Amino acid sequence: MTSPHFSSGDLIADRRADYARMFAESGEFAEAAELMEQALEQVPSWAAGWFRLAEYAEKSGRKEAATAALQKVVALDPADIFGAGLKLAVLGAAETPAAPSTAYVERLFDDYADRFDTALVQRLDYTVPQTLARLVRRHAGEDAYFGLVADIGCGTGLLGVELRASAGRLEGFDLSAGMLAKAEEKGVYDHLAQADLSLPAAESGLFAAAPEERADLVGAADVLMYLGDLAEVFPSAARLLKAGGVFAFSVEDGGTGDAPLLRPSLRYAHPERFIRQRAEESGLAILAVEKSVIRQDAGQPVHGLLFLARREA
């Protein structure tokens, strides 16, 4: 049956949605869309149902119907927990948002937390924590020691595991409470707290219980693709770092342009030129850039860029 998160609260509508899902799983998207339309006749204010209808309509080749359904989602759910605004932009029906909604990113990772490590590492060949940690050691030395490391967007703690031996104190921050709970289970962090990296530094939660300019190393593995134009993350990282401290982070490679690209995955890809501009604006000097395949997506390699940047005195 339909999961509680997706439930309409109406048994008949939920049953039709379940049948629609079964048709979709068999590749019969037109039939799935027809059943979702019937379900929505019962509960026309069901935002999750309209989002599901948009998915089926798009996959059956009905772009206009998908767009109309997504516009209905946005009207019913201004917080946009489903990422309908992003999807409209991918379909060419709206401007690309500067960043995803906080509600969407938080729900995405809360829902993903229990299966994150298995899905990402074992099925998608995710390598960023290891390659980013190697880049840090290559620059700072194999025996490098950092008095305080801040892992921003720490997720389930995969980067923390790689950096624990090099850190005197390891702090982890993430928007998702579900991800933080999984990170706690790994037992590698000295401090974990919720933080919203899309907000200005003073409001983000990064400094709620500790001062600025305290970190020798700030890490952000596979985080920036969920933060859009990065207007706040570089200033926040710079305020976390001591003078001379290093910011190690990854992005999906956005090619040779000047601005982030929103991909069909609903993740942003960032050109190297754009990253260099954002870093310079925040007083961060790029020390190293490394190209890498960071994961697989639908059987295709996702190309990324790994950066080290130093906070200037």
Enumerate the β-bridge partners of residue 149: 170, 217
State both tokens at 202: 């003073």
103 belongs to a structural domain: no
Range of the domain at 239: 111-311
In this structure, the answer to whether residues 65 and 155 fall within a common structural domain is no
State both tokens at 157: 């703690």
CATH number of the domain enclosing 42:
1.25.40.10
- Half-sphere exposure of residue 98: CA atoms within 13 angstroms, side-chain side: 7
In this structure, the answer to whether residues 305 and 251 fall within a common structural domain is yes
pLDDT tens, per residue, the chain with 313 residues? 344 457 888 899 999 999 999 999 999 999 999 999 999 999 999 999 999 999 999 999 999 999 999 999 999 999 999 999 999 999 999 999 999 999 999 999 999 888 888 877 777 888 999 999 999 999 998 889 999 999 999 999 999 999 999 999 999 999 999 999 999 999 999 999 999 999 998 899 999 878 999 999 999 999 999 999 999 999 999 999 999 999 999 999 999 999 999 999 999 999 999 999 999 999 999 999 999 999 888 889 999 999 999 998 7
Who's near 96: CB < 8 A, 6+ residues apart?
A: 89, 262
Hey, how many other C-beta atoms are within 10 angstroms of the C-beta on 210?
Answer: 14
In this structure, the answer to whether residues 274 and 145 fall within a common structural domain is yes
State both tokens at 268: 């942003």
d(CA 238, CA 256): 25
In this structure, the answer to whether residues 167 and 199 fall within a common structural domain is yes
Hey, how many other C-beta atoms are within 10 angstroms of the C-beta on 7?
Answer: 17
- DSSP-derived letter for residue 164 is G
In this structure, the answer to whether residues 154 and 81 fall within a common structural domain is no
287 belongs to a structural domain: yes
- DSSP-derived letter for residue 257 is S
In this structure, the answer to whether residues 242 and 203 fall within a common structural domain is yes
Who's near 202: CB < 8 A, 6+ residues apart?
A: none
Model pLDDT, residue 5: 54
CATH number of the domain enclosing 289:
3.40.50.150
State both tokens at 241: 């770092």
105 belongs to a structural domain: no
In this structure, the answer to whether residues 56 and 118 fall within a common structural domain is no
